[in-house]
Amino acid sequence: MSAADILDLGKIPSKVNPELQSERNCSSLTPYISEITAIVDGGRNNTEKRRQIERILFKDPLFRDCAIDSVYKPRDEMYARGVERSVRLFALKEEYNWTDEEFGIAVNVINHQYSLGLHNVMFIPALERLSTEQQKAKWLHLARNYQIIGTYAQTELGHGTNLQGLETIATYDATTEEFILNTPTVTSIKWWPGALGKSVNYAIILATLIIDGKKHGMHPFLTPLRSTKDHKPLPGVKVGDIGPKLTFNIVDNGYLILNNVRIPRENMLMKNAQVSREGHFTSRGPSKANYSAMILVRVTIVNWCSVILSNSSTITVRYSAVRRQSTLDSSSEKESKILDYQTQQYKVFPSLATAYALFFVSKTLKNRYLKTYAEIIKGNFKNLPEIHCQSAGMKAMSGEMTAELLEISRQACGGHGYLAASALGDAVASAKALVTVEGENTVLYLQVARYLMKRFAAAVSGERLSGSTEYLCMDPMKYTCPINSPEDCMNVSLLCQVYRFRAYRMISKAARMLQRDIEGGKKQHKAMNDNLVQLVRAARAHLLYCMVVDYKEGMNQLQISVPVSKALNNLLVFFTVFNIVKNAGDFLETESIGLPQMEWLKETEVKMLAEIRPDAVSLVDAFDIHDNTHGSVLGCYDGNVYERMLKSTQNEPLNQCDVHYSFHQHLKPFLQRNNTSKL
């Protein structure tokens, strides 16, 4: 490149960076990339469908410039742009008659950069799952046709995950056949619902039902908040935005204060519980059935985690294949690619493997949810506790993994990863929300732990278990470590036995500690509190076992070519071994493995880095993520990292003039304060 070309900041080479092209040329997986892409998309037809949606969206600057908008626009403009993008997206859905699945693809394509996501993610699903048939007939078509825009208002200023502690109340007035909604305390104010601040005109509000002074638990109430004529808040409604967040300020998360807001009796969503005109309360099924929409969102979050890690892995692997720094061989004049350094691989490949792991896990979890939901519709609530446990736990674990791995990915890109134009900083900040959104992770782990304690007690009493806890019926005395050679460390079926025994031992230990404390005279709540750390450890052990099993079984269901099978199996083995080594203390303490086996596993972990390395670029290429989707100058398909970094500076407002006004206002007077010398 000439000096003149370097000065032309807008010029990007038309060819792929030779560094990245050489990776593709040397990978034996390159001819089979489309096969993996079809797996990720759910079939070749879905791949073409996604690409068609990308073509539709990215011919419009409104969607093409998402990454630039999130960096350079002030909050109010960013929000307005997000609303404009939402309206355009809804219009395209109608214009092209997109299904809900296709609309979800479109949302992923623009990396969720729109303001009114809660309408489709929670409001409509809640109407579908919590309404009677008559209520669906009245409200669903209005929501689906965007004649009303809604959100889901559950979290309060003083309460989040503890739903039984929510303080918003809905008092039934039989004389008028209305519910009167109030947020009677500061802590009862609804806080955090997306699009509540300035956008929606309806909300499904979770409130405690009160009839004749008696509480009847939490129930959903469809409540109008703003006038459909001028969008002003209705009488008794005070609503606004909660202010800037770490990121995702395109969304107007809001607060809501209700003062004697009256809604018709028919606005209580009554699929699972009913209130008659006279004020008689009846319920159908367990109270957790009212949380079915929330369960769906937690299932969805696991998939989001997979998508987020796919984006970040694409950025970090491609950048690492282009970036050269220092040299591995002192006799070589050419610097080495940082992807060739084992330490860089150890930063980057866990994220890549976990992206694939969560893809298979989320797919299996979604199928379980759909099966359970179909049973619930028929009045069978038997598997509701199981799916509640699985969705809560997998949301917590996948969110925790994603937040941790994203920060490591950012660090793996060195100083350039700190640039907003890398898109990694915003991804890291966004991922931090995964730890608290739709249930704070520690609380969710404890919900899993309580379920495990119940199932373990049932197993001890002789009950035959099914589902994810079936293994709790095992006889621990019959266990022997199945890893008898270094080669066994590559056998995921054997490693699953190790995970299973570790989970069993940690769950049984938590149960014994609880039993010991209760039998020693502690009250149950005191015994629980004194063992919360062990309970969380037990829950995490169970969930990691389930994750590895789902990953393995998802892989086993594929009918794929030998090269693809080998490459994906390398990731499976690495993910499985990596998480044993990462949790080495637990595996050794529970005697799931011994020290010799741990040494073999550490050697295997390092060995797998070398196995994955030749195909790393092909494995991220297989995600087939559009450059406009990940929005990073470091991770584009052409690999022209430095040219794109330079071009990105054109978007910086500070660079729109040679001399900034602050020079004349502040710096120049200071420099000339004495005016005694001339330079």
The pLDDT, as a whole number, for residue 383 is 92
Comparing 679 with 416, which gets the higher pLDDT?
416
The pLDDT, as a whole number, for residue 8 is 65
The pLDDT, as a whole number, for residue 88 is 96
pLDDT in tens, 585-619: 999 999 999 999 999 999 999 999 999 999 999 99
The pLDDT, as a whole number, for residue 676 is 61
CB 403 within 8 A of CB 431: yes
Residue partners of 176: CB distance under 8 A and separation at least 6: 262
Q: Is the pLDDT of residue 675 over 80?
A: no
The CA distance from 455 to 330, in Å, is 60
**Which SS3 state, helix, strand or coil, does residue 261 take?**
strand
Query: Cβ–Cβ contacts within 10 Å for residue 79, how many?
Result: 20
% of the chain at pLDDT higher than 90:
87
Give the phi and the psi of residue 268 in degrees, each rounded to 5.
-75, 125
Which strand (E) or helix (H) includes residue 207? Answer: strand 202-211
Is residue 84 annotated as part of the catalytic site, yes or no? no
The CA distance from 260 to 156, in Å, is 18
CB 250 within 8 A of CB 82: yes
% of the chain at pLDDT higher than 70:
97
Q: Is the pLDDT of residue 204 over 60?
A: yes
Residue partners of 451: CB distance under 8 A and separation at least 6: 385, 388, 389, 469
Q: How far is CA 54 from the centre of its chain?
A: 22
Smallest CA-to-CA distance from 116 within 197, 229, 10, 234 is with 197
CB 17 within 8 A of CB 638: yes
Sort residue 252 into left (φ over 0), alpha (ψ -120 to 50) or beta. Answer: beta
Average pLDDT over residues 61-84: 86
The pLDDT, as a whole number, for residue 70 is 74
Weakest mean pLDDT among 349-358, 651-660, 670-679: 670-679
pLDDT in tens, 35-58: 999 999 999 999 999 999 999 999
Residue partners of 489: CB distance under 8 A and separation at least 6: 483, 495, 577, 597, 600, 601, 603, 604
The pLDDT, as a whole number, for residue 310 is 97
The pLDDT, as a whole number, for residue 451 is 97
Give residue 151's pLDDT band: very low, low, confident or very high (50, 70, 90). very high
Smallest CA-to-CA distance from 118 within 152, 90, 160, 78 is with 152
The CA distance from 602 to 613, in Å, is 17
The pLDDT, as a whole number, for residue 4 is 56
The pLDDT, as a whole number, for residue 19 is 95
pLDDT in tens, 278-334: 999 999 877 666 777 789 899 999 999 999 999 999 999 999 999 999 888 888 889
pTM above 0.85, yes or no: yes
**Which SS3 state, helix, strand or coil, does residue 216 take?**
strand
Give residue 5's pLDDT band: very low, low, confident or very high (50, 70, 90). low
pLDDT in tens, 614-666: 999 999 999 999 999 999 999 999 999 999 999 999 888 999 999 999 999 99
The catalytically annotated residue of 407, 438, 605, 643 is 438
Comparing 452 with 163, which gets the higher pLDDT?
452
Give me the chain's average pLDDT, please.
Answer: 94
Average pLDDT over residues 67-93: 89
Average pLDDT over residues 492-503: 98
Note the maximum CA span of the chain: 96
Average pLDDT over residues 106-135: 94
Comparing 11 with 341, which gets the higher pLDDT?
341
The pLDDT, as a whole number, for residue 651 is 86
The pLDDT, as a whole number, for residue 1 is 53
Average pLDDT over residues 474-493: 96
Q: Is the pLDDT of residue 2 over 60?
A: no
The single-letter DSSP state of residue 583 is T
The pLDDT, as a whole number, for residue 3 is 54
